[in-house]
Amino acid sequence: MLMQGLAIEREVVIEAPVEVVWRTITEGGPVVVETVEPPTRFSFRWNYPSGQEPVAGNSMLVEFTLTPEGPERTRLRVVESGHELRDWPDEEKRRYADEHEGGWGEYLDRLPELLAKRR
């Protein structure tokens, strides 16, 4: 059964041009890329069973949306979903959502400082 309200959504405004933010979020990582629309949209699937193709129901989908806010600012929105479709008990789905909500918060909190060094 699909649990509603489990998508993880975070957003941050970064004092860096959209092209700089794009390069930072799209370099590296053991993921399967779903969507690439430079420099405003990027998504990938991850956390799927070994030996299987990542699809809805067996993997997580992470979507980044970048919106320029002037020449030197970017709004970055991250949405992670897919855990609500997994064959897990509701408590496990909630635990995953809570842990990753905090994890994305930590990542996005560090991102502006990292990007300041890259400029």
Give per-residue pLDDT as tens, 37-85. Answer: 999 999 999 988 888 889 988 999 999 999 999 999 999 999 999 998 8
Is the pLDDT at 3 greater than 60? The verdict is no
Domains of the chain, CATH where assigned: 8-118 (3.30.530.20)
For 83-99, write each residue's pLDDT tens digit: 988 999 999 999 999 99
Q: Are 52 and 110 in contact (CB under 8 A)?
A: no
- Give a three-class secondary structure readout of 88-114: CCHHHHHHHHHHHHHHHHHHHHHHHHH
User: What whole-number distance in Å separates Cα of residue 49 and Cα of residue 25?
Assistant: 24
pLDDT of residue 79: 95
Whole-structure pTM value: 0.83
